[in-house]
A and B are shown apart, each in its own frame.
Chain A
């Protein structure tokens, strides 16, 4: 069964303390890997799509990377406004229109 596992479940950092969130997956023939940010009481907000191993995408203090078995979301010098739940999702090979979500990592940045 295709699975997506995110770690850690929760992470508390001081403002400015860089770290990484992990998303590991068992899907083979990945069509796309997605990162979302979700604030309390709101819908997930799209951040990045990665398509192949070695690919990297950046947006402000966030950088997403992809290998054949996992993806990392690196957060550099985070600010309190980066506090949110970060969701990872993968899309299996062609012919399957669904995507599989991980349970997310709750990130809290202390001022």
Chain B
């Protein structure tokens, strides 16, 4: 998994509660990404970071916030969880090769919002 861990790996929570997912990398890569994966939609980008304290929104950012205070950690927070945020969440890190960014993925966090 290219030195990427995610925690927790599984979580069940209730609607309206805040939830924080953690991604940790040991590769010292600049870029980090959060995706969600749902049947029929494939992988969709939530937020990404291009450096410490530098983040930007992705395709489906509403209801999510992120923080990156250290190169190795990228946190995803669901401010007030809803059932529509039940999904599998993947963190990825970006490695620049030639002109493009190859991304390597973590093992995922399976989140169920009741």
Query: Chain A residues in contact with chain B, CB under 8 A?
Result: 31-32, 34, 36, 41-46, 49, 51, 87, 89, 91, 94, 97-99, 101-104
Contact = CB atoms under 8 A, between A and B. Distances in A.
B104 interface: yes
Contacts of B104: 46
A34 to B, nearest CB: 7
10 contacts: A32-B101, A34-B102, A42-B108, A44-B90, A49-B100, A89-B43, A94-B99, A97-B31, A99-B101, A101-B44
Chain B's interface size range is 20 to 34
A31 B98 CA distance: 9
Contacts of A94: 99
A71 B108 CA distance: 27
A46 B101 contact: no
Contacts of A89: 43, 103
A43 B108 contact: yes
Given A43-B90, A43-B105, A103-B41, A97 B50 contact: yes
